[in-house]
Amino acid sequence: MADNNEMEEARARMIAKRFGGKAAGASTGGGGSVRRKKKAAIKSTGDDKKITAVVKKLGATVIPGIEEVNMFRNDSSVLHFANPKVQSAVQSNTFVVSGTGVNRDISELLPGIISQLGPENMENLRALAEQFQQQAAAAKGGATEGNDDDDDDIPDLVENFEETSKEK
């Protein structure tokens, strides 16, 4: 037991001598160097570099002129990319879409994306159409409840216009 205690004390002295005492790795360099105040943040560009390397290996080419990319989800939401960078590798059936994606509801993009909807999204579209019809009917019913007089009806003809035209 005494040997273990002596060995641990010797290790502690050696570490203190080599690495600057109790700072435990807080200093860089030798004895005369300045103590490091904070640890430098590691940037996560490693993942981006790996992805670009894999895309380069696939031989993907950039597709110019794409203004937007919409990815439809099962919960009637859309992952929308505005002005993305799209690359394709046709031989491996791979497409890479890079840019900032925004998660939106399908009703926000509706007039412009009807041509992009597939058969799997038609059920969601029907449900949205029924919802809009119910809202419109409720709004119309609420607006006409207070108005019992028929101001919107066409008035009856009072005089004969043919006779007045013959008089001239």
Is the per-residue pLDDT at 165 higher than 70?
yes
Q: CB-hemisphere CA count at 13 Å for 69? A: 18
138-156 pLDDT, tens digit each? 777 655 554 555 556 776 6
Characterize the bridge pairing of strands 68-72 and 94-98.
Answer: unpaired
Pairwise pLDDT comparison (167 vs 27), residue with the higher score = 167
DSSP lists the bridge partners of residue 79 as 71, 103
Mean pLDDT of 81-110: 86
pLDDT value of residue 18 = 77
Q: Nearest CA to 77 among 105, 101, 100?
A: 105
Other beta carbons less than 10 A from residue 99's beta carbon: 14
